[in-house]
Amino acid sequence: MNTPDPQVHAAALAAEPDSTPAGVAVIYTALPESTQVATLATLMDTVASYLGEEDQRRIRDAYRFGDEAHLGQFRSSGEPYISHPIAVAEICAGWKLDAESIMAALLHDTVEDTSVSKQDVHERFGSQVSEIVDGLSKLDRVSIDSREARQAESFRKMLLAMARDARVILIKLADRLHNMRTIEVLPPAKRRRIAVETLQVYAPIASRLGLYTLYRELLDLSFRAAYPKRFEVLSKAVRAARGNRRETIARVYADVQKALPKAGVNAKVFAREKALYSIYQKMRLKRLPFSKVYDVYGVRIIVETVLDCYKALGALHMTFKPIPGRFKDYIALGKENGYQSLHTSLMGPSNMPIEFQIRTEEMQRIAESGVAAHWLYKSEGEDFSDLQKLAHSWLKTLIDIEHNTGDPLEFMDHVKVDLFPDEVYVFTPVGDIRSLPRHATALDFAYSVHTDVGNKAVGARINGAPARLNEALSSGDVVEILTSENAHPQPVWLSYVRSGKARSEIRHFLKTMRYDESVALGRRLFQQALASLGIDANAVDSEMAERSARDSGAADLLSLYAEIGIGKRLAPLEARSLALLARGKPEAARIMPRLAPVLIRGDERSAVTYASCCSPIPGDQIIGHLRGGHGLTLHRNRCKTALRQRERDADRFIDVDWSDRLEGVFRTRIELSVTAGRGTLGKVAAEIAASDANISDVAMHEQGKDGHLEFVIEVRDRTHLAQLLRNLRRLPDVHTVSRV
C-alpha cells in the first residue's frame, strides 16, 4: 500500500536526523505533506499480495465499471473522479479486506453520483456488493429540506447498514480518511465543517471499533483542517521538544532495556509520541501551557505472552516510582472494542511523568487494526471473530435506539452520546461485567440490564450501600437495582443518564406510553378552562373544536389534548381561542355554575408528576404546575418551591384536588431518630411492612449512640401515613419520627 503511513520511525525522518537518541526507536506522529494520486496498478499490487486471481479479475471488472460510470467527472483538485474510489479501495486493501469490500469501495459513489442504480450493481456484481454500496449511498436530497436533517438521515441509514455488515463502516471510514487527506483544496468554511463532523462522529466511531491508527490520523487531519494556526504552532512546539527531551527519553529507554531482561522478559521497546490533537485537548481541558504537558512521550513495550505483560509491569514498578491512581488493566478488563493492554504512569528522570503501555504482539495488532483485523486472520468457516462480536454488540444497540427514535436528528444525538472515549466497568450482583460511559449513573446500569429494569427502577445499591438512581458509578462498583411495579420513567431522568440506550428508552416511554394518559389529562384541563369562560364543553360542536385545534397549529383535537396534557400548550389560552371562534354561537351562551378543579385519581402515570420537594399524597392540599414538556406537577400548596415558582409563572398554576376514587400508592419521605444498635434498622423496616407500606429507599447515618434513618415509603393516603407514624413511635428504639 503506497498511501502515506501516519506513523513512521525516526530513522525514516530525513528532515530531523539529530532528533532521536542513539539506539532508541521513536514512533512519531507525522501527517503526509501530500498524497499521490492512486492508480489501478498500485491497488492491484496490494490486492495481489493476499487475494487469488479470480478475486483480482472481479476487482478489475468493478474498476472498469466504475471508471465508465464516473467518466467526465472530476474532483475539486482537478483529478479524474475515479482516483478517489481507487484510493478508498487501496486503504481497504491495506486492511486486507475481502474482494467484495474492495469492489464496493470502487463502486461506493456510483449509485449516489451517477446514473447507475442499486439493481445495476446487483445484477453485475451480486447482492453482497450491492447491499454494501446501498448502505454507503446517501438518500435522495430532494426529500429532506435541511442539510442537517439530510446528513442525519444518511448517517442513520449508514449505521443501520453497518449493523448488518461491518464492512460498510470500514469503507466509509476509508472514504472519510481519503477525503480528509485531500481536504486542502476545499474552501475554508467547508473544510472546517467537514473536519468538525469528523472529530465529532467518524473519529469516535474509528476508536469505538478499535481502529486506533486510523483514529489518530483522523484526529490530526481534522485538527489541521479545523484549526490550522493552532495546529502549526503546536507542531513547531512538539518538534522543538523532541530535541529538548531526547536525553530524558534515552535514559528511560536504557533503564527499561536493563530491567526487562533481569525479569526474564524479551521485549521490543519503543518511545511513542502523543498525537497532536490529544496534546491540544489536554492543554485546552486542563488549561495548561505546552511546557506543562509532560506526557508528550510514552513508552510502548511489546512482549511475547500475557504473563510477560505482568512480569514487565513488575520490573517497571521496581525501576521507576509509580504515580498513584494511574494504573489500568485493560487485559483483565478489556475495552468494548476488544482493546487490551496494561497502562501505567511512572515518574521518570527529572520527575517527568511517562506513560507505559505493555501488550503482546496480538494485542498490538488488535490495537492498530481493530475490527478490520478480522478479515486478515479469518479462519475457515468462521462467521464472526470475538472482536467482531464486540463490535456487533454495539451496533445492535444502534438498531434498538433507531426503533425508539423517529427523528433522524434525535437518532444522531443518541449515537453521539454513545460514542464515548472512556468507559467504567461495573459488576452485576452475580459477577457479570458491564461497560458504561464515563460518568454513567445507576440508571444507565439499569437500562443496560434490561429496558423493563430501567423503566421500573426506584433506587439502587452500590457495593451494598443504598444509593440514588442518579449516583455516578466508578470502575469496580457492584450495582444492584431496586424496582417497583408502580414506578415509571420521569422526564427528569433525561438530565442525568449518559448512555444513548437509556436516553432513547426513556424518551420512547415518555412519547408513546403516556400518550393516552396525556390526552385524558389534557381533555380534563381543556374542559376546566372552557368552564372558567362559561362554556359547556359538552355543547361545543365537534367540527368547531377540530377547527380551533388546527387553527392553533395542532394536527387535530387529540393532538391538542396531548400537548396540553404534557404542558406544551396552556389550556386557558386554547379555551380562549375556541371561545373567540364560538362567539355569537349558541354553545357560547351556556354558563357553567362552578369552576371545577382537575381531579387527581393516581392512575395518570407519567402525565402527572409528584414533586420530590414536598411529595404530596392524598389528603394533602395541593396545587398543580403545568411545566412545558413535563405535564402536570403536583405540589403541596404550602411548598416553598411551588410558591417561588408561582410568583414567577402564575399562569401555569391550576386548581387541582383529589378524586373520591383513588388508585395506586403514593410516595413520601419520613425521617427517624433512633438508638443506634444491632437490629434497629430491621425492626423499623419490619414495622413499616407490618403497616402495609412499601419501602422504596432508605439511608442510615450514625452519630455516636444515636442514629438517623431516612425512608422513602409508599402509602395510600394521609390517614395511612398517620397510622404508620403512630406504629413507629411505639418502638422502644425510636426517639422521634416525622414526615419530611
pLDDT confidence of residue 652: 74
**How distant is the alpha carbon of residue 56 from its chain centre?**
40
Mean pLDDT per segment of 10 residues, for the chain of length 740 residues? 34 35 49 65 91 93 93 88 93 89 93 88 91 70 46 59 70 92 91 88 78 87 92 87 73 88 90 83 84 78 93 92 84 76 86 87 79 46 48 56 55 52 73 78 92 90 88 85 85 81 82 76 85 79 82 81 76 72 51 57 74 91 76 87 87 82 87 84 86 82 75 91 93 90
Report how far Cα 120 is from the mean position of its chain's Cα atoms.
38
Residue 579 lies in a domain: yes
Please report the pLDDT score of residue 154 as a whole number.
Answer: 57
Residues 282 and 328 in one domain: yes
| Whether residue 415 is found in the same domain as residue 551 | no
Residues 490 and 525 in one domain: no
For residue 435, give the CATH number of its domain: 3.10.20.30
Angstrom distances, CA of residue 249 to CA of 24, 359, 552: 8, 20, 70
As beta bridge partners, residue 709 has 672, 700
Q: Does 302 fall in a domain?
A: yes
- Other Cβ atoms less than 10 A from the Cβ of 292: the count is 10
Q: How many domains does the chain have?
A: 5
Q: Are residues 577 and 613 in the same domain?
A: yes
CATH of the domain at 674: 3.30.70.260
What is the Cα–Cα distance from 313 to 267, expressed in whole angstroms? 12
CATH for 272: 3.30.460.10
SS3 state of residue 583: coil
Dihedral sign computed on CA atoms, order 472, 475, 477, 478: positive
SS3 of 657, please? strand
Residue 71's Cβ-count burial label (10 Å; 0-12, 13-18, 19+) is exposed
Whole-number pLDDT of residue 67: 92
**Does any domain span residue 83?**
yes
Statement to judge: residues 504 and 552 lie in one domain? no
Domain end position, chosen among 374, 401, 429:
374
pLDDT at 1: 34
Asked whether residue 32 is domain-assigned, the answer is no
Q: Is the dihedral of CA 458, 462, 467, 468 positive or negative?
A: negative
- Among 310, 341, 374, where does a domain finish? 374
Question: How far is residue 200 CA from its own chain's centroid?
Answer: 12
Question: Within this chain, do residues 414 and 519 fall inside the same structural domain, yes or no?
Answer: no
Q: Give the pLDDT of residue 620.
A: 94
Residues 5, 12: Cα–Cα separation, whole Å = 12
pLDDT of 5 reads 37
Q: Give the model's pLDDT for residue 602.
A: 83
pLDDT reported for residue 176: 92
Considering the domain boundaries, does residue 214 fall inside one? no
H-type helices in 295-436, by residue range?
306-319, 361-369, 373-376, 386-403, 408-418
> What is the H or E stretch that residue 212 is in?
helix 212-226
Distant-in-sequence contacts of 64-72, Cβ < 8 A, 24+ apart: 65/106, 65/107, 65/110, 65/124, 65/125, 66/106, 66/107, 66/110, 69/107, 69/110, 69/114, 69/115, 69/116, 70/109, 70/110, 70/113, 70/114
- In this structure, are 611 and 719 located in the same domain? no
Q: Which sequence positions are flagged as catalytic?
A: 112-113
Q: Any idea which residue has 447515618 for its cell?
A: 701
Q: Are residues 652 and 518 in the same domain?
A: yes
Residue 721 included in any domain: yes
Rounded to an integer, what distance in angstroms lies between the CA atom of residue 472 and that of residue 664? 31
Q: What is the DSSP letter of 200?
A: I
User: Are residue 652 and residue 670 in the same domain, yes or no?
Assistant: no
Q: 647 and 673 share a domain?
A: no
Place of cell 442539510: 147
Does some domain include residue 554?
yes
How far is the CA of 100 from the CAs of 125, 157, 172, 559, in angstroms? 9, 20, 14, 49
Residues 480, 524 within the same domain = no
Tell me, yes or no, whether 404 and 334 share the same domain: no
Cα 545 from Cα 120, distance rounded (Å): 53
Can you give the pTM of this predicted structure? 0.54
Q: Considering the domain boundaries, does residue 160 fall inside one?
A: no
Which of 152, 178, 213 is the endpoint of a domain?
152
The amino acid that residue 502 corresponds to is A
Strands of 371-529, DSSP E: 423-427, 433-437, 457-462, 465-467, 479-483
Q: Residue 504 belongs to what domain range?
A: 389-512
In a 3-state reduction of DSSP, which class is residue 379? coil
